[in-house]
Structure 1
């Protein structure tokens, strides 16, 4: 099993291009099930998660072709017909978001059998809201032996959907199903993350009629069919925020390109409050730190436009060497402080109580062997390793490969001493 090794102490100086957003790309790929014409996605990241979903879509009848085009990395998806409405557990369990093929399958072919995604290390995250939305649209839902059987032989019908809590996945799923429903669907208490607006733009380019994505109320007027389209995936705000934190942690000056700093204003405000330099540019942002120790800053996760839960672990790593004590409150997912004990192995002073962690900054972290517990936790350990004395080795980095494209290459280009150690013990620079 591969590992990442980091030798701490190098400042970061250079440019890092931000990849397309993983959390958007996988939902856009699922949209290919809604049309018999080709959907071309540009600015596509090459990640374990997109590969997992590509395998599942291929099984369902989608022709998936990756290539390098004039607009960079692209994926062409074409489903002239749905060959199967069955999504088995061995594929769905690899990535929760693959459950979102259920709605498009029912919308286009009237039926589907999709495995429940199973548990998750950062909380239960049940799919009840997804199923309630589909039932509101007229689908008949049955659960048997870990599978969801959904049927709508006469098609889905527009409906009023009110979510009791904000859910990004359920909002996206409802959108994907409702675009082919007969009539008007209104989604209340919808998630407002930028990925929702990106999905709306793609669906509308395919001929859908969606309004309001990015606000709490989304209105969808169903159409009889969708067509093919070309759509550029938005930049990954979590990757952008991760490298911004890494630059603030290691010191130096890093220019992030192909980025939209407005998508991470909450993080950038906290970086400035801590003492890092933040300078927006025409195509991204520059992060600077001249070597002075940062100040401790309190953060609380919240739905967009608040501080993203997917940046919480990275910011905790940053605070481990800041002056004073910071409090980090997690309000989105339970059980999302599993990186804290691993950071403590590097010498961090952290105490966790319920949904709050207190981080008391130390003068110096020390390299050690640590283990990734989930996607965002894994990169927090890399960030800490950038300043830890000696070598830090992060194992179970298959989590990292799910969401970060060419991480060693991007950090290495800025001077970081980071390398991948292959499972057989051979190091790969």
Structure 2
């Protein structure tokens, strides 16, 4: 199992280019199941979760032609597609549940495994199931599989999500595209990745309108051939912004619309980072002293994303005073804390709140990743630690960060992969 060896402390300087968004690519790829005609998806990130989704589509009968750099996929669906999403493919990634909506909408039946992924909380699929049921899906759960069918086309309905859910919003929007009549989804998640999904579907002829957290979809009979370029990965961009702030960096971040991480940029300005934004670039300089912030709280977009909570905790460990972070999205997302404590962090957990002492002098140690974002937080801590750190289980990182060690090496991080 591969590990990273990091020799700290490192100073960050140079340019980094942001890859396509994993969290936007997954629902877009799932939505290609709705199409009879070929679809081209560009700017896919080369990460494990994308490979998993492409393999899942292949197993369902899609023909996938990848460009040489594997960042563009042409997807052609057979007339007689399969509707069985097996556990062997779905177990490694929660995003696999996103094939349920399009399979039911297009083929009126599906046997989809309950999903796996990061162990960061319960993340039940009941919001997905109850929304799809309202649209006309019947289902039962047996032996870890969702056995689902519908009597012909789904039918448009008014659906009010009891809680904001990214995945349930995506699954319902995709399913409603080919439903009969009008679907009104209320209390939707409005993350940029969801807007990228609806932009892709609209380009193909879907009838989708947004008003705040309400999404109205009028079903169409079929979708047209289209080509779409996936948006930049805002979590990768935010991670590099945190890295520059943490390590007194001087970094140019390219290939993204800075507006997608406005909230994060404002927070980093408060801790002392100097930040300038252009159309598709961010220039960021880290401060000599990082100011602490009380009451950072993760929230649905446009709030601070839960996917940046672990990285911000590392930043607050190096601030000159006490700070706190409340995790309001997932109930099991502090698994990185014990590993940060091994480096010397003083963090006290009270329910879903982390109280951070600050002024930490990280000392290199051997560390173990527990999930995707926790693993990148350990890498950030190792970058500013004194001495050598080894970060194990880097396959977690590879699920969501393209070419991370190469990108870090280019901006001055002493990092190498150990087999």
By the TM > 0.5 criterion, same fold? yes
Conserved 8 A contact 1:60-1:82: no
Conserved 8 A contact 2:306-2:327: yes
Aligned residue number for residue 206 of structure 1? 204
Conserved 8 A contact 2:118-2:371: no
User: 1:271, CA displacement in angstroms?
Assistant: 0.8
Aligned residue number for residue 181 of structure 1? 179
Higher alpha-carbon deviation: 1-10 or 114-123: 114-123
User: In the alignment, is residue 261 of structure 1 matched against residue 258 of structure 2?
Assistant: yes
User: In the alignment, is residue 280 of structure 1 matched against residue 262 of structure 2?
Assistant: no
Aligned residue number for residue 110 of structure 1? 108
Query: Which of 295, 299, 307 is the matching residue for 1:302?
Result: 299
Q: Deviations over 1:167-188 (max 9, x none)?
A: 0000000011000001000001
Conserved 8 A contact 1:33-1:82: no
User: Quick one: structure 1 residues 244 and 386, their matched pair in 2 at CA, closer, same or farther if it must change by over 3 Å?
Assistant: same
Conserved 8 A contact 2:243-2:249: no
Structure 2 CA distance for aligned equivalents of residues 139 and 78 of structure 1: 26
User: 1:44, CA displacement in angstroms?
Assistant: 1.1
Conserved 8 A contact 1:89-1:117: yes
User: 1:73, CA displacement in angstroms?
Assistant: 2.6
Structure 1 residues 318-357: aligned runs within 5 Å:
318-357=315-354
Structure 2 CA distance for aligned equivalents of residues 416 and 276 of structure 1: 19
Q: Deviations over 1:321-376 (max 9, x none)?
A: 11001100000000101101101111111111100001111352100000001000
Q: Deviations over 1:100-157 (max 9, x none)?
A: 1011011111111101115751110100010111111111112112111111131111
Structure 1 residues 227-242: aligned runs within 5 Å:
227-242=224-239
Query: Which of 304, 309, 314 is the matching residue for 1:312?
Result: 309
Provide runs of 4+ in structure 1 moved above 4 Å: none
Structure 2 CA distance for aligned equivalents of residues 98 and 78 of structure 1: 19
Structure 1 CA distance for aligned equivalents of residues 236 and 281 of structure 2: 12
Aligned residue number for residue 271 of structure 1? 268
Query: Which of 151, 154, 169 is the matching residue for 1:153?
Result: 151
Structure 1 CA distance for aligned equivalents of residues 60 and 117 of structure 2: 24
Structure 1 residues 27-426: aligned runs within 5 Å:
27-68=27-68, 73-118=71-116, 120-212=118-210, 215-290=212-287, 292-298=288-294, 299-422=296-419
Q: Mark the runs of 5 or more structure 1 residues left unpaired by the alignment.
A: 423-429
Higher alpha-carbon deviation: 400-409 or 119-128: 119-128
Conserved 8 A contact 2:319-2:358: yes
Q: TM-score, normalised by structure 2?
A: 0.97
Q: TM-score, normalised by structure 1?
A: 0.95
Q: Mark the runs of 5 or more structure 2 residues left unpaired by the alignment.
A: none
- CA RMSD in angstroms comes to 1.3
User: 1:80, CA displacement in angstroms?
Assistant: 2.8
Conserved 8 A contact 1:62-1:82: no
Q: Deviations over 1:231-289 (max 9, x none)?
A: 01011000000000011111120000011221112211111111111111231211102
